[in-house]
Structure 1
Amino acid sequence: MFILSLTYLKGNDEADKHMEPHMAWVKEGYAKGWFLASGRKVPRTGGVIFAHGDKSELEAYVAADPFTIHGVAAYDVQEITLTTIVDGLERLKAE
C-alpha cells in the first residue's frame, strides 16, 4: 500500500484553477482500481491519497497529475506495510 502525500507549492487560488482536471485525474485513479481513499489536508496545504498497485506505475501516474504538470503540488510517494487492520478493511492489506 502507498500513501501519496501532496503538498501545495502554490496558493489555494492557483490550486483551484487546476482543481477540475486534477479531480478528473483522481477519478481516473479510482477507475483504474489504484486509489482507495483520498482527501484534503486540514489546514488546506495539499492532500493525501491511499493507493495500491505497482510503485513505478503509481509514480508515473503522479507525474501525469495536472497539479504536478503545472507545478501546483509536489508528491511524496511512501510505501507502507500494514500489519493491523480493523475488520472490514482487509482489502487494504491484500496486494
Structure 2
Amino acid sequence: MFIITLTYIKPLETIDALIPEHRAFLTRHYANGTFLFSGPKIPRNGGIIIATGESREAMEAVISEDPFHREQAAKYEIVEFTPAMTAEALNDFCTA
C-alpha cells in the first residue's frame, strides 16, 4: 500500500483550474481499485491519497497521469508500507 502526499508548488489559482481534470484522474483510479481514500490537506497546501498497487514503479506511473504532475503544479512523496494492523472494516488490506 502507499501513502501519496502532494504539496502544491503553484498558486491555488493554478490548482483550482486543474481540479476538474484532477478529479477525473481520481475517479478513474477509484474505479479500477487503485485509490482507496483521498482528500485535501488542512491547511489547503496539497493533498493525500491512500492507494494500493503492485509496486512503487506502478504507483509512479499512475501519478504521472495526474494533471497536477503534468503541469508541475505539485510535488509528490510516495511512501510504501505493509499494513500489519487495521480496523475490522479494512481487514482485506491487512497482510499480517
If the TM-score is normalised by the length of the shorter chain, which range does it land in? over 0.9
Q: Give the residue type in structure 1 aligned to 2:5.
A: S
Q: Per the alignment, in what secondary structure is the counterpart of residue 89 of structure 1?
A: helix
Measure, in 2, the Cα distance between the counterparts of 1:11 and 1:60. Answer: 25
TM-score (norm 2): 0.92
Measure, in 2, the Cα distance between the counterparts of 1:51 and 1:12. Answer: 24
Q: Which residue of 2 aligns with 1:86?
A: 87
Q: CA deviation at 1:86?
A: 1.4
**More displaced stretch, 85-94 vs 47-56:** 85-94
Q: Give the residue type in structure 2 aligned to 1:50.
A: I
Q: Per the alignment, in what secondary structure is the counterpart of residue 44 of structure 1?
A: coil
Q: Which residue of 2 aligns with 1:67?
A: 68
Q: Give the residue type in structure 2 aligned to 1:67.
A: F
Q: Per the alignment, in what secondary structure is the counterpart of residue 18 of structure 1?
A: helix
Question: What is the aligned-residue identity percentage?
Answer: 37
TM-superposition CA deviations, 1:14-67 (whole Å, max 9, x none): 100101001100001101110011100000011001000122221101011100
Measure, in 2, the Cα distance between the counterparts of 1:57 and 1:92. Answer: 18
Q: Which residue of 1 aligns with 2:44?
A: 44
In structure 2, list runs of 5 or more residues that go unmatched.
none
Aligned residues: 94
RMSD: 1.0
Measure, in 1, the Cα distance between the counterparts of 2:65 and 2:33. Answer: 17
Q: CA deviation at 1:92?
A: 2.5
In structure 1, list runs of 5 or more residues that go unmatched.
none
Q: Per the alignment, in what secondary structure is the counterpart of residue 39 of structure 1?
A: strand
TM-superposition CA deviations, 1:62-95 (whole Å, max 9, x none): 011100000111111110111121111112225x
Q: Which residue of 1 aligns with 2:28?
A: 28
